[in-house]
Amino acid sequence: MDYRLAAVLELLELEQLEVNLFRGNSRDVGSPQVFGGQVLGQALKAAYGTVDPNRFAHSLHAYFLSRGDFNAPIVYSVDRARDGRSFTSRRVIAIQHGEQIFNMAASFQVPQPGVEHQLSMPIVPGPEGLPAVAARSDDMPSHLSERQRHYFAHEWPFEFRMVPWDAADAVPGGAPERYVWLRAVDKLPDSDVLHRCLLAYVSDLQLLATATLPHVMAGNSAAVVLASIDHAMWFHRPLRVDQWFLHAIQSPSASGARGFARASIFSRDGALVASTAQEGLMRIGAHQQSRG
């Protein structure tokens, strides 16, 4: 297996310390804190560790309370809130240095038949023929700090292929929307739990960045503060993350130093497999003004 993907799978292998208590390690991806997607994926995996294996996660709602320290392990405490006939509810608290850094509520369901409908997948070019997104240190702006350069050059365990937008949208003042094809860099085991945890992991990467597109933010990264505040996710249908899926993201609003984004996630055959939403801190330096 590709070493990048193997490293993330290792992060999802939590150590069980006691009943309802798990510990996970972290990986430095270049951000000032533990990558939020890592905490989401680990928290969901911890919750799964207390749930009947015949039930699947259908939703989660999480808050990022403070920066995680990637030099220290994270302890996940799971509260078994309810085990009903059809649904199971769990609350997960992530702890570092004796303090909460994250909490999450998640719900699991017994598979059941029912009526179905969904929105149609946007008509966009497929991933074939689109250039792979790959950052190189010699392509980066000179004003970036060493840590920012490390983050943008990080080797993620997913391939990214950005659907080209119109030239008018590629500059500040463009539409707050983005379409990205993704898939894991290597084949994965046939585990629905694993694929849902990895989808939670990668879902944190593009949301808040989409809210910055209409604004003058990219020209001076040092003057911009971006940080996830919360993250919600709904799993509608099964998905394999080692096959191409489309992340269709829109940002309906930014206000009060917060940006909001939501996304629909489609499999290659057009099935709506998940929905996500996120609000994050979006603070711009005093000399910068938004356009639009």
Active-site annotation holds for 204: yes
Which of helix, strand or coil describes residue 148?
Answer: helix
Q: Which of 26, 228, 251, 264 is catalytic?
A: 228
Q: How far apart are the first and last CA of the chain?
A: 46
Tally of CB atoms within 10 A around 234:
17
For residues 251 and 6, give the distance between their C-alpha atoms in angstroms, rounded to a whole number: 32
Which of helix, strand or coil describes residue 42?
Answer: helix
Residue pair 172/216 in contact (Cβ under 8 Å)? The answer is yes
Residue pair 235/258 in contact (Cβ under 8 Å)? The answer is no
Burial 195-204 (b: 16+ CB within 10 A, else e): bbbbbbbbbb
β-bridge mates for residue 76, sequence order: 22, 94
For residues 91 and 114, give the distance between their C-alpha atoms in angstroms, rounded to a whole number: 27
Residues 132, 133, 135, 140: is their CA dihedral positive or negative?
positive
Q: Which of 204, 206, 251, 267 is catalytic?
A: 204
Quick one: which H or E segment has residue 255?
A: strand 245-255
Residues with a known catalytic role: 204, 228, 278
